[in-house]
């Protein structure tokens, strides 16, 4: 039985409490929040859970095997480090950290301590994302040419972080998981129209160096809510519409294709590419709560040391892109070359300087 | 009666013939195409029109007052120049030219000759775009914070021009008209997945230097067809969905708003901005063919010297952005600073060099 | 403090427990279900509530002021009668009873006992339905010409009741509330394709005798889910799309209008009616749980004897239509004339016999 | 070469002229309309066609092999009879006639004269309807349980005919073709809210006597435009959305299914049917003009005596249902039993009288 302590009982923490309580193989023994009303409300519902106002007390408990950190991003590093040093397994809310060096240090410490370090990239456990990954791995859509992601809405504008750090981790983690390799170059543009100078509308463009580009539109100021990703392959294409209840994934048997060469009188202006429109297939995607599946996955990983889908490295890769976005945004869309992920610890560099 | 000669009878030319034939105040006297089957088919339908295989013959005719150039972009400059030099009014298909210096020269020649030089930015005559401009000018949505434009489809891939030159002129001309000022900086990213090295998926980001950003997604490889623009204002927002028959424009009385300052115990993490969701208003947009309205507009401009909505300067401004996109694309998303539009003839410069 | 006892802890009962627990002015003291697991699960969450296996025990409790009956429809009458006789207020799940004579008797008994008798027509407390009623009462759409209602889905096929008794009470209660008068004639057609001979697809047509007709399509076998009502007025029209999150109500300023008489050469085939297409207005509808509002409404009604929106008469009117539907269905679409609602106790009669 | 004469140059006639002019194997030699402006406009476009003001002149021409009748329904019988008697093939606009006895007489005369008699049920030549028929014939959706059809819009209100005769022939002809058998019972309800006492909103319910029911909602007063048919089978279901450009047909692999018997403690209230939600398949439907295909079909039928898809019998079957609808409407939803189609000439009878 995995005994879990949850730090942070604001927006997301109560969900973590619920799924670890309901999951076979885990329970929640302690929770913590600096605002006592928050943990008291949860304890009223789950009388067996003990509440704390100080995270150190929770981390120090012997009956906590895994610490889940659901606090604002600027406290992730300190809390996760302390939990690791105490020999606890750790699950960190996304974004993993606000600094890639901190992320690297956490990964290193966890490895040395022999504890599990996970990041809460919940979307990777949705049946829709799992289906997309399976389809692409099976070659169903061919080589992926581009990814186009739109996540826009009237959103909860925050002062501490910009819209990129708030919304893009979802989509960046999905692309990281589905595509399975890292981008080489980042361009991010954006603008602030509200307060604090933080971008509330932003565009991120990733170049993977091999023809694949991925673009992300994140926006706190859109009157319409859109959560849609297109995976354009050279054989087929996938649309992922996360707002649809019944048709989250659609596979289009359509694409651009070379056509037989036809010579004209003057040899000019002959198209050699045509497009093909075929059937659309909407596979049934079962309903299942992603967070519950993630909790079960973590319990299995602890019990049987199976590899983690959402390990610290996954968190680090996303943070590196977010850092590069910030640098590009600060310099109004400057190109930022990402160090090869193998070269751990390398800083993103401005293209002009490379 | 304005007598029109149409050069180029491929995809768009026949539409020009039709609207100038049907427009009160104009008629078509001659048409031209290097492929004789094309002009012959039109002449069969309109027996009064004479066909030519050589554009010079058409331009030389005394019974042609206005030459409409509907040929591939690389021939626009030569044909328009010859028509201007012969004292003809000229309407040039979009994109205006493939080189901004050519565009400037045409403008200069037309001014000196005293003839009208127009660019066929048809979208500016759609009732929807006219409504959007009227709403924004009337202050209905407040200050415009951002424009987001998506024009994607499985498209007719071309070898001569990339997707930016093919699709973006529509949206760039709309933004130029509605916003009424020019961007200061361009970043364009894209990728080619088919043939010839021309980008078939591209993203354009314009910064107007005053908080306004405009982003454009143009794509020949999308399985879904989307033609949507968002104009995000600080009071309201407009969605323009060109594919909707009955609801092309929707005005959202929604936005982000400062909220009264509330002090917390620790002064931290208090939001000072909230969002407001209000009614949606879908003004009825009458059906009307934009090209017919444009033809009527040109006839009026010739007859009474009223100012042109689509003059050569409008064509030039779009070409300048397209050139900057090409430069940015070639350098993988490099920032390109646009010379101030007042400084005519100035070249776009790479940000690094500025 | 209104003390509530809830009988029936299956699908809907737990919701009643929750809202009466959360509502200011009420609490739940006891619950009951013949399946002990069901009430035990609820008692585990709300330790102050006592569970029973026998409804009589619950009804007999002194600390129960209002009995909520959330059992299958065939037990409504017996349970409600016993509760009334014990001097309890009663809330009965919809459909109110399976027999209109039982409904009349309950109304009569409650009146004589001086207790409140309510039916759970939850939809009447949704902000959308309240808005529709307010718009129509204010004359916004003019005279209502027709109502068209579609409620279709792959549904939970039941053996005890047909699709009419399962789904139509929602829509019939909305029309009863919004329109405020009763139909004169019912025609219902349907078919059974699964088991037990109960219709799983059915159409109900109500004629109000004054030009207003209302049609209802209820269907357990539809692959698409639709929950849409049209209220067609002679000035404007309202669409109520209950599946839309952000645009539940749309008001169309469109309609058919007489046009000025124009005489033709032969006087024939001249239309004297035209249609007008105007703007669409989508009022913002706040999110609010209807069942909570209903609980609050009941508490107020008990406390201050304010009139009930969902009294036994409302339940009876719906049951009368359902009975007429059954009779029409049994006779394959025969017309059934409804006795005037003023003539309480009257039976629906077959049109042929009237 | 089939030489066609077209009577009636109002709304639909010009389309017939165009397709018979463009069709290989046919041409148009003469047209006719009592309003001379109408035929003159067409003759201006097609100089080889001769115009007439009197239909008899056209019918009498030796160079007319087939007469297409595109006039108001009340003149169909007289014009078609005269053409048949002159030995011409005839194509009659839908609805075929305004009286089923007239239709029967036309069929009889055409058979005796040895000429082809066709009705213009254009929808039967749309690729979508052909696909639906092919799918159902191949057993793809199993036994058809129900058809639900909605064709509503703000429509051209007419004084001569009601909404049933205007809109329902489309859908009735589709169901007649796809299902391949005739209904046994008709119930129609409707109401008039505009002028002339003609129903502008109506519902038609057909019972095929074997479990299959088909329902049709036709409406001239709907603010939203819907053209959708559901074919519910016991294995799969088809949605036909005629307003969708790219997804006209969707096949849902969903349905209700018997489930293994499970015995409960009290044997009551156990469901024995469950529903299954599977994939959705959207076959690509090619774009093709239905009317052109119909013209080609007629030319082939004349040339090679291949059987007609749209013969007089098809027209008659639809008229019989329309007549039954009128009778049911007049008696406010009375049941009308249709004589078995084999018993030609039989009158529809009121259910009460049967």
Q: Do B230 and A252 touch (CB under 8 A)?
A: no
CA dihedral over C51, C53, C55, C56, signed as positive or negative: negative
Q: Which two tokens stand for residue A242?
A: 């996360």
CA dihedral over A85, A91, A97, A100, signed as positive or negative: positive
Q: How far is CA C224 from the centre of its chain?
A: 22
The answer to whether the CB of A220 falls within 8 A of the CB of A200 is yes
**D225 contacts in B (CB within 8 Å)?**
246
Interface membership of B225 toward D (CB under 8 Å): yes
Residue of D195, D204, D201 whose CA lies nearest to D223: D201
Give residue-wise pLDDT tens across range D308-320. 999 999 999 999 9
Cα separation of D328 and D335, whole Å?
A: 6
Q: Do D157 and C273 touch (CB under 8 A)?
A: yes
Interface membership of C193 toward A (CB under 8 Å): no
DSSP D42: H
Q: Where are the beta strands (DSSP E) in A47-86?
A: 50-52, 66-69
B99 three-state secondary structure: coil
Q: How far is CA B266 from the centre of its chain?
A: 52
Cα separation of A250 and A244, whole Å?
A: 11
Give residue-wise pLDDT tens across range A90-99. 999 999 999 9
Cα separation of C14 and C5, whole Å?
A: 12
Q: What does residue D289 show for φ and ψ, rounded to 5 degrees?
A: -80, 125
Higher-confidence residue of D271 and B221: namely B221
Residues 6+ apart with CB under 8 A from A155: A163, A166, A167, A219, A220, A221, B275
Cα separation of D345 and D343, whole Å?
A: 6
Residues 6+ apart with CB under 8 A from B30: B5, B6, B49, B50, B51, B52, B58, B61, B63, B64
Q: How many residues does chain D have?
A: 354
Domains of chain A (ranges; CATH) run: 2-120 (3.40.50.720), 124-289+318-337 (3.30.360.10)
Cα separation of A234 and A226, whole Å?
A: 25
Cα separation of C327 and B325, whole Å?
A: 72
Interface membership of A212 toward B (CB under 8 Å): yes
Measure CB to CB from residue D207 to each of C220, C273, C332 and give the nearest one: C332
Residue with tokens 């979802």: A170
Q: Do A145 and B193 touch (CB under 8 A)?
A: yes
The answer to whether the CB of B122 falls within 8 A of the CB of B309 is no
The percentage of residues in chain B with a pLDDT greater than 90, rounded to a whole number, is 79
DSSP string, B306-336: PPPSSBHHHHHHHHHHHHHHHHHHHTTS--E
Please give the average per-residue pLDDT across A237-243, as a whole number. 96
CA dihedral over B112, B115, B121, B126, signed as positive or negative: positive
D328 forms beta bridges with none
The answer to whether the CB of B257 falls within 8 A of the CB of B236 is no
Q: What does residue D93 show for φ and ψ, rounded to 5 degrees?
A: -60, 155
Cα separation of D237 and D245, whole Å?
A: 20
Q: What is the pLDDT of residue C246?
A: 86
Interface membership of C246 toward A (CB under 8 Å): yes
DSSP string, A287-344: ---HHHHHHHHHHHHHHH-PPPSSBHHHHHHHHHHHHHHHHHHHTTS--EEPPPTTST
What is the overall mean pLDDT for chain B?
90
Q: What does residue B62 show for φ and ψ, rounded to 5 degrees?
A: -70, -25
Chain A, chain C: beta-carbon pairs less than 8 Å apart? 3
CB burial of B99-121 (b: ≥16 within 10 Å; e: otherwise) equals ebebbbbbbebbeebebbbbbbb
Shortest CA gap A274–chain B (Å): 7
Interface membership of B283 toward C (CB under 8 Å): yes
Q: What is the pLDDT of residue B101?
A: 97
B98 three-state secondary structure: coil
Interface predicted TM-score (ipTM) of this complex, two decimals: 0.89
D306 upstream amide cis, omega within 30 of 0: no
**B212 contacts in A (CB within 8 Å)?**
191
Q: Where are the beta strands (DSSP E) in chain C?
A: 2-7, 26-32, 50-52, 66-69, 89-93, 117-120, 144-154, 185-191, 201-207, 213-219, 221-233, 237-241, 249-252, 255-258, 273-276, 280-282, 336-337, 349-350
Chain C: residue nearest D192 by CA? C211
Q: What is the pLDDT of residue B349?
A: 56
Q: How many residues does chain A have?
A: 354
Interface test with A, best of D244, D247, D249, D280 (most A CBs within 10 A): D280
Any idea which of A234-238, A255-259, D65-69 has the lowest mean pLDDT? A255-259
Cα separation of B60 and B87, whole Å?
A: 10
Interface membership of B153 toward A (CB under 8 Å): no
Q: Where are the beta strands (DSSP E) in B192-278?
A: 201-207, 213-219, 221-233, 237-241, 249-252, 255-258, 273-276
Give residue-wise pLDDT tens across range B243-300. 998 899 999 998 777 665 554 444 444 456 777 889 999 999 998 999 999 999 999 9
Position D256 pLDDT exceeds 50: yes
Position A279 pLDDT exceeds 60: yes
CA angle C67, C73, C78 (to 5 degrees): 55
DSSP A234: S
Residue of B341, B318, B320, B338 whose CA lies nearest to B124: B318
Q: Do C279 and B279 touch (CB under 8 A)?
A: no
Residue with tokens 């580009």: A213
DSSP C347: P
From residue A22, alpha-carbon distances to A27, A46, A71, A289, C276 in Å are 8, 11, 22, 12, 57
Q: Which helix (H) or strand (E) holds B342?
A: none
Interface membership of B241 toward C (CB under 8 Å): no
Residue of A162, A228, A203, A332 whose CA lies nearest to B147: A203
pLDDT grade for B107, boundaries at 50, 70 and 90: very high
Q: Which two tokens stand for residue D331?
A: 């008696």
What is the overall mean pLDDT for chain D?
90
Q: What is the pLDDT of residue B158?
A: 74
Q: Do D275 and C192 touch (CB under 8 A)?
A: no
Give residue-wise pLDDT tens across range C332-350. 899 999 976 544 444 555 5
**B246 contacts in D (CB within 8 Å)?**
225
Residues 6+ apart with CB under 8 A from C18: none
Higher-confidence residue of B345 and A161: namely A161
Interface membership of A340 toward C (CB under 8 Å): no
Shortest CA gap B168–chain C (Å): 30
Q: Subunits touching A (CB < 8 Å, at least 3 pairs)?
A: B, C, D
Higher-confidence residue of D38 and D265: namely D38
Residue of B29, B97, B95, B16 whose CA lies nearest to B57: B29
Cα separation of A165 and A72, whole Å?
A: 11
Higher-confidence residue of C21 and D272: namely C21
Residue with tokens 């604002």: A72
Q: What is the pLDDT of residue A266?
A: 45
Interface membership of C269 toward D (CB under 8 Å): yes
Interface membership of C284 toward A (CB under 8 Å): no
Interface membership of D259 toward C (CB under 8 Å): no
Shortest CA gap B14–chain D (Å): 16
Q: Do C203 and D203 touch (CB under 8 A)?
A: yes
Q: What is the pLDDT of residue A344?
A: 41
DSSP B18: H
B119 three-state secondary structure: strand
Residues 6+ apart with CB under 8 A from B220: A256, A275, B153, B154, B155, B156, B157, B163, B166, B167, B194, B200, B201
Cα separation of D48 and D156, whole Å?
A: 33
Strands C144-154, C185-191: pairing kind: unpaired
The answer to whether the CB of A348 falls within 8 A of the CB of A101 is no
Any idea which of A162-171, B105-114, D334-343 has the lowest mean pLDDT? D334-343
Q: What is the pLDDT of residue B266?
A: 45
pLDDT grade for C259, boundaries at 50, 70 and 90: low
Strands D280-282, A280-282: pairing kind: antiparallel
Any idea which of A73-82, A322-331, B24-33, D270-279 has the lowest mean pLDDT? D270-279
For chain A, the maximum distance between any two Cα atoms, rounded to a whole number of angstroms, is: 85
Among the residues of A86-126, which ranges form H helices?
100-113
């Amino acid at each position: 039985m995995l005994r879990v302590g949850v730090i942070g009982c604001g927006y997301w923490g109560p969900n973590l409490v619920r799924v670890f309580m309901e999951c076979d193989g885990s329970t929640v023994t302690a929770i913590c929040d600096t605002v006592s009303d928050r943990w008291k409300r949860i304890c009223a519902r789950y009388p067996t859970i003990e509440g704390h106002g100080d995270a150190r007390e929770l981390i120090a408990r012997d009956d906590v095997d895994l610490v889940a950190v659901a606090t604002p991003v600027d406290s992730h590093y300190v809390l996760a480090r302390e939990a690791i040093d105490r020999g606890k397994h750790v699950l960190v809310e996304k974004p993993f950290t606000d600094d890639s060096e901190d992320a690297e240090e956490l990964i290193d410490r966890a490895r040395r301590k022999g504890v599990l370090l996970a990041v809460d990239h919940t979307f990777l456990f949705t049946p829709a994302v799992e289906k997309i990954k399976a389809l692409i791995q099976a070659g169903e859509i061919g080589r992926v040419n581009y990814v186009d992601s739109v996540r826009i809405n009237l959103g909860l504008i925050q002062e501490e972080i910009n819209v990129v750090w708030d919304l893009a981790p979802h989509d960046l983690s999905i692309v990281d998981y589905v595509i399975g390799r890292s981008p080489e170059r980042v361009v991010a543009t954006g603008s602030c129209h509200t307060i604090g100078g933080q971008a509330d509308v932003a565009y991120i463009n990733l170049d993977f160096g091999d023809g694949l580009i991925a673009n992300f539109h994140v926006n706190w100021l859109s009157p319409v809510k859109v959560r849609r990703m297109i995976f354009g392959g050279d054989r087929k294409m996938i649309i992922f519409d996360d707002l649809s209840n019944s048709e989250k994934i659609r596979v289009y048997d359509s694409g651009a294709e070379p056509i037989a060469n036809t010579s004209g009188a003057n040899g000019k202006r002959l198209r050699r590419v045509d497009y093909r429109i075929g059937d659309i297939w909407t596979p049934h995607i079962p309903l299942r709560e992603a967070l519950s599946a993630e909790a079960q996955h973590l319990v299995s990983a602890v019990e049987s040391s199976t590899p983690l889908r959402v390990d610290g490295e996954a968190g680090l890769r996303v943070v590196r892109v977010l850092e590069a976005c910030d640098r590009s945004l600060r310099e109004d869309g400057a190109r930022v070359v990402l160090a090869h992920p193998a070269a751990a610890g390398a800083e993103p560099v401005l293209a002009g300087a490379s």
